[in-house]
Chain A
Amino acid sequence: MTRRKAQPRQQSKKSSKGVKARQTARTKRNRVIATTSIAAVVVAFVAAIAFGGRKPTPGASGVSDATTVAGRVTGVLASTLDQVGVGQGVTPVEMLPPSTPPLTQNGKPDVFYYGAEYCPYCAGQRWPLTVALSRFGTFSGLGITTSSSNDTAPDTPTVSYHGSTYTSNYLVFSPVELQTRTGETLDTPTPAQQDLVNTYDTAPYTTNPGAIPLLMIGNRYIQIGSSIDPASLAGMTQLQVATALSDPTAATTQEIGGAANMFTAALCQLTNGQPVDVCTAPGVKAGGSLLPAAPVGGP
């Protein structure tokens, strides 16, 4: 009896010792994992900060400014644009006749922009166009530049589409920047794009055939020239214009935001009202009131 009772107690003692040993080993292993991972995180933090610190400080129009400007112009809040509504000083787009063949690419409506970095009206037009397109997709690689110093509204601050990409589930954006601000060649239009220019960048849409910028919104709307006055951006940097876009009361935001709402309303017609939250936003509905009811030259 005694031996029979003693056996389980010994086994229990052994088993208890085993459990304790396993627990101790596990605690030790946990400490190693914890210490190693904490150390790894600390090293990673230090590396990120040190790497950032070594990065050369960009100049006034350096890489960092371009990134910041791009972030701000593509990230204007819907609430800000709703407060702007129709805005002020916006030149409306024109409607193309319903018989105009739709402009599409890969089954998606195509927005064609044809301009150049030296051109002050292109500089003005890019702001609202970028704000509007950012509500349907994502830009990457947007640059910053200014228009020519020797033209109307010299040195108008702006973004540049040269080298940028735009991805969207709803639209295709096909920008062509012909030249730099000093006249060096940048992009060359495709034959199809050149056909569009030859066909539409002329009367009755303009009295100055071949003028830039030319904006074709899926062959439903057209604008030759700028929807905003580039002179209203005089004396500002790209960063100042982009930063002011968070203030719906700023004069530049009234122009850019109002034109962006108009473009967004036009784009919503191409996407059949998608995305719904964008196309039903109060600002976009207000912007839609700027769209013409009849095509150029009558209904």
Chain B
Amino acid sequence: MTPRWVPRVTFGLALAGVAVAAYLTYAHFTSPAALVCSDKGLVDCTKVTTSAQSRFLGMPVAVLGLGFWLVMSALLSPAAWRASSQWPHRARVVLSVLGIVFVLWLVYAEFVIIGAICLWCSVIHVIAFAEFVLVMLYGLDVIRPEAAMEEEG
């Protein structure tokens, strides 16, 4: 049984992810200067958001992030946590893992390749990590192999 606070908290985290990703996407399509952020020293949002690593397979990472959090908002909504179908529960875990792997790459890129971190990107990374922890701790339990077999059968 998933504690009642888990769907609420994870949904809240996902909505926060959408908000920050939308802010980064707005800055991407207007000007990096639109971000309220330092541009000197280790914290340098402009340096990060205009780096070669700000794109992944030709797509702006900010846009990918916004898409990710929109999908996660649906999968982390209280209704999705209650779903009798198994695919939202599986998709939630799979996307959480993919999300955190991508965050790891971005953190590596910031610290090792670019040599600067972006404050707003870090906020998203913290949200992604918190969401990953909660999904791993509570999301695995709602996956019922027997129910999945029934669905497939």
Contact = CB atoms under 8 A, between A and B. Distances in A.
Interface in A45-89: 45, 48-49, 51-53, 55, 58, 64, 67-68, 70-72, 74-75, 77, 79-80
Interface stretch (B6-14, B46-54, B73-81): B46-54
A77 B31 contact: yes
Contact of B97 (A37, A44, A53, A247): A37
Interface in B7-48: 28-33, 46-47
A206 to B, nearest CB: 35
A65 to B, nearest CB: 9
B121 to A, nearest CB: 14
B131 to A, nearest CB: 12
A246 B31 contact: yes
Contact of B50 (A31, A64, A246): A246
A246 B46 contact: yes
B111 interface: yes
A80 to B, nearest CB: 7
A27 interface: yes
A33 interface: yes
B104 A67 contact: no
Interface string A151-194: 00000000000000000000000000000000000000000000
Interface string B71-93: 00000000000000000000000
Nearest to A55: B112
A289 B114 CA distance: 38
Interface residues of A, number: 33
Contacts of A296: none
B140 A30 contact: yes
A243 B46 CA distance: 8
Give the most central of B30, B108, B145: most A CB within 10 Å. Answer: B108
Interface in B99-153: 100, 104, 107-108, 110-116, 129, 132-133, 136-137, 140-141, 145
Contacts, number: 91
Contacts of A79: 29-30
Contacts of A52: 108, 110-112, 115
A26 B132 CA distance: 19
B31 A64 contact: no
A38 interface: yes
B115 A58 contact: yes
Given A37-B136, A58-B115, A246-B32, A27 B97 contact: no
Given A30-B141, A41-B129, A64-B114, A74 B136 contact: no
Contacts of A211: none
A82 B112 CA distance: 33
A34 interface: yes
A247 B141 CA distance: 51
Nearest to A36: B136
A81 to B, nearest CB: 13
Given A52-B115, A68-B114, A41 B104 contact: yes
Nearest to A70: B52
B111 A38 contact: no
A48 B104 contact: yes
Nearest to B135: A34
Contact of A33 (B33, B55, B140): B140
Interface in A65-117: 67-68, 70-72, 74-75, 77, 79-80
Interface of B: 28-33, 46-47, 50-55, 97, 100, 104, 107-108, 110-116, 129, 132-133, 136-137, 140-141, 145
Interface of A: 26-27, 30-31, 33-34, 37-38, 41, 44-45, 48-49, 51-53, 55, 58, 64, 67-68, 70-72, 74-75, 77, 79-80, 140, 243, 246-247
Given A77-B29, A77-B30, A243-B50, 5 more contacts: A26-B141, A37-B97, A38-B132, A75-B55, A247-B31
Q: Which 4 A-B pairs have the closest CB atoms?
A: A52-B111, A71-B51, A34-B136, A30-B140
29 contacts: A33-B136, A38-B132, A38-B137, A48-B104, A48-B107, A48-B111, A48-B112, A51-B108, A52-B111, A52-B112, A55-B111, A55-B112, A55-B115, A64-B114, A67-B51, A67-B113, A67-B115, A68-B50, A68-B114, A71-B54, A72-B51, A74-B52, A75-B55, A79-B29, A140-B52, A243-B46, A243-B50, A246-B32, A246-B33
